[in-house]
C-alpha cells in the first residue's frame, strides 16, 4: 500500500472517487500546507478521516529521537515498512532551519570512511518516504517556533543513484511544500550521467559534490566511484552544471589526518576549483572515526591550517560547525557522527 506522501494528486483523486471534488484539495492542503495527519483534518467528515487514516498510512515509524542539550538539533531514527532504518536530522541555526534527509536505506557507493558505505546497500527509498522526512521535520520546526526553509540530501545514501524517486520528491518539496529550489541541495559522490540529467531539469537546485581528494589516485581509494568517473570527467560535468544553472556548487571534503590534509592536497584542490567557470565553496568536515576505518580525522589545529592554506590560494572554505552532529556535511556519516542523547520515540 502506498504511503500518504507517495500519492500524487491524480492518485489521491482516484482514492477519493465518489467524494465531492473539493475533497482532493482539502486533503492535499491538509497534508502539505497544514502538515497534518488525515485524522487531524477536522474539515472532513469523521468516517472519511478514519478511512484515510487506514488507506494512507505513514511511511516512517519513529524508533528513536535524540536532541542536543540546547534543542537545536533533533535526530530521528525511522523504521520503514520492511524494517530498514534511516535517519533524519533537523538543525536550527541562528538564521535558518535545515533538515538533512536520507535517500536510500544503506548505500552501494562503498566509501571506506563512511559508516553507511561500510554497511552496504539495502534498498531505494520511495518518493513518499523522502517527502515524509521533510514534512515531519517541518512540523517539528513549527512546534519549535521556526520555519523549515532548507533541505539537504546528505543523509544516508547517494541521492543521484535514486534519481527517479528523489527528483519527484524535490518537485513535491518545491511545488507543494513551497520550498525554494535555491534552498534545496542534492549531494553526490560524482555520478556524472545523473549530474548531466540534473542540469536539464527546470528547478535550479544546489549541487554538493563529495570530493574528498583532488587527484585520481587518492580519490580512487577514498571514493571508489571515481574509477568509473575520474576527476576530469566529473569536473567537466560540474562545469556544465554551473553554466546551465548558475547555481552554487560546493565541494565536501572530509579531512583525514595525514591523508588529504597536507599542503599538496590544498594546492591540488585549489587547482581543480580553478577549472570551474564559477567559484566553488569548500566545506571542510573534520572526520569522525568509524569502526571499520582505522584512519583518524584531522585534529582541530590541522583543520584550521588547511582552511588557511585554501584561503591563501583563493578558495573560500568553511569548517562545519560541530553541533553534536555534522550530518549536513557528508552523506552517510551520521550513524558514526551523531553523539546525542537518544530516547525512544513516542
Ligand atoms: S559517503 Fe555517501 S556516497 Fe559514500 S558510501 Fe557513504 S553514504 Fe554512500
Out of 102, 105, 110, 111, mutate this one to test ligand 1's pocket (max ligand atoms within 8 Å of CB): namely 111
Is residue 64 within 8 Å of 76, Cβ to Cβ?
A: yes
111 Cβ closer than 6 Å to some ligand 1 atom: yes
Q: How far is CA 193 from CA 101, 160, 233, 237, 252, in A?
A: 22, 9, 10, 8, 20
334 Cβ closer than 6 Å to some ligand 1 atom: no
Q: How far is CA 2 from CA 28, 155, 265, in A?
A: 15, 23, 47
Out of 103, 107, 211, mutate this one to test ligand 1's pocket (max ligand atoms within 8 Å of CB): namely 107
Out of 110, 113, 189, mutate this one to test ligand 1's pocket (max ligand atoms within 8 Å of CB): namely 189
Provide the pLDDT for residue 294. Answer: 67
Provide the pLDDT for residue 68. Answer: 82
C-alpha angle 194-334-288 in degrees, rounded to nearest 5: 110
Answer left, alpha or beta for residue 45, where phi above 0 means left and psi between -120 and 50 means alpha.
beta
155 Cβ closer than 6 Å to some ligand 1 atom: no
Distance 113 CA to ligand 1 centre (A): 9
103 Cβ closer than 6 Å to some ligand 1 atom: no
Is residue 31 within 8 Å of 5, Cβ to Cβ?
A: yes
Provide the pLDDT for residue 339. Answer: 37
Provide the pLDDT for residue 291. Answer: 63
Q: Which atom of ligand 1 is nearest to the CA of 113?
A: 1
Nearest CA to 275 out of 230, 242, 239, 229 is that of 239
104 Cβ closer than 6 Å to some ligand 1 atom: no
209 Cβ closer than 6 Å to some ligand 1 atom: no
Provide the pLDDT for residue 288. Answer: 66
Provide the pLDDT for residue 248. Answer: 78
Catalytic residue among 100, 107, 114, 331: 331
Q: How far is CA 61 from CA 4, 99, 133, 231, 241, in A?
A: 13, 18, 11, 40, 37
Query: DSSP character for 253?
Result: E
The strand ranges marked E within 101-149 are 104-106, 121-124
Provide the pLDDT for residue 247. Answer: 83
| Average pLDDT per consecutive 10 residues, the chain (346 residues; last block may be shorter) | 94 96 97 96 96 96 88 91 93 94 94 81 97 98 97 94 98 98 96 98 96 97 96 97 91 93 98 93 81 76 96 94 43 42 40
Calpha distance 157→155 (Å, rounded): 6
116 Cβ closer than 6 Å to some ligand 1 atom: yes
Catalytic residue among 87, 129, 158, 252: 87
Query: Ligand 1, atom 7: nearest CA belongs to which residue?
Result: 332
Provide the pLDDT for residue 287. Answer: 75
Query: Ligand 1, atom 4: nearest CA belongs to which residue?
Result: 111
Is residue 158 within 8 Å of 331, Cβ to Cβ?
A: yes
Provide the pLDDT for residue 118. Answer: 79
Distance 155 CA to ligand 1 centre (A): 9
Distance 117 CA to ligand 1 centre (A): 5
329 Cβ closer than 6 Å to some ligand 1 atom: no
pTM over 0.85: yes
Provide the pLDDT for residue 292. Answer: 63
| Whether 331 is catalytic | yes
Calpha distance 77→62 (Å, rounded): 6
| Whether 87 is catalytic | yes
Amino acid at each position: 500500500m502506498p504511503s500518504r506522501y507517495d500519492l500524487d494528486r491524480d492518485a489521491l483523486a482516484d482514492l477519493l472517487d465518489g467524494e465531492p471534488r473539493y475533497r482532493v484539495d482539502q486533503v492535499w492542503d491538509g497534508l502539505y500546507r497544514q502538515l497534518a495527519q488525515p485524522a487531524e483534518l477536522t474539515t472532513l467528515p469523521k468516517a472519511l478521516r478514519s478511512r484515510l487514516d487506514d488507506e494512507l498510512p505513514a511511511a516512517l515509524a519513529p524508533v528513536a529521537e535524540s536532541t542536543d542539550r540546547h534543542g537545536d538539533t533533533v535526530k530521528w531514527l525511522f523504521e520503514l515498512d520492511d524494517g530498514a532504518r534511516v535517519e533524519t536530522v533537523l538543525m536550527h541555526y541562528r538564521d535558518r532551519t535545515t533538515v538533512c534527509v536520507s535517500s536510500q536505506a544503506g548505500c552501494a557507493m562503498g566509501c571506506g570512511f563512511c559508516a553507511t558505505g561500510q554497511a552496504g546497500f539495502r534498498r531505494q527509498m520511495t518518493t513518499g518516504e523522502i517527502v515524509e522526512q521533510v514534512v515531519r521535520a517541518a512540523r517539528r520546526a513549527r512546534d519549535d517556533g521556526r520555519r523549515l526553509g532548507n533541505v539537504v540530501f546528505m543523509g544516508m545514501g547517494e541521492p543521484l543513484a535514486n534519481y527517479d524517486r528523489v527528483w519527484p520528491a524535490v518537485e513535491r518539496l518545491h511545488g507543494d511544500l513551497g520550498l525554494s529550489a535555491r534552498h534545496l541541495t542534492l549531494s553526490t559522490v560524482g555520478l556524472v550521467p545523473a549530474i548531466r540529467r540534473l542540469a536539464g531539469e527546470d528547478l535550479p537546485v544546489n549541487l554538493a559534490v563529495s570530493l574528498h581528494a583532488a587527484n585520481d589516485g587518492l580519490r580512487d581509494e577514498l571514493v571508489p566511484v571515481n574509477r568509473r568517473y575520474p576527476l576530469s570527467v566529473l569536473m567537466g560535468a560540474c562545469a556544465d552544471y554551473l553554466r546551465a544553472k548558475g547555481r552554487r556548487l560546493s565541494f565536501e571534503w572530509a579531512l583525514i589526518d595525514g591523508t588529504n590534509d597536507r599542503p599538496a592536497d590544498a594546492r591540488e584542490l585549489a587547482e581543480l576549483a580553478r577549472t570551474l567557470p564559477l567559484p566553488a565553496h569548500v566545506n571542510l568536515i573534520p572526520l569522525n572515526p568509524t569502526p571499520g576505518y582505522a584512519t583518524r580525522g584531522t585534529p582541530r589545529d590541522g583543520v584550521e591550517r588547511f582552511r588557511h592554506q585554501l584561503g591563501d590560494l583563493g578558495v573560500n572554505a568553511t569548517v562545519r560547525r560541530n553541533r553534536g552532529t555534522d550530518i549536513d556535511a557528508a552523506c552517510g556519516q551520521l550513524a558514526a557522527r551523531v553523539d546525542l542523547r537518544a530516547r525512544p520515540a513516542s
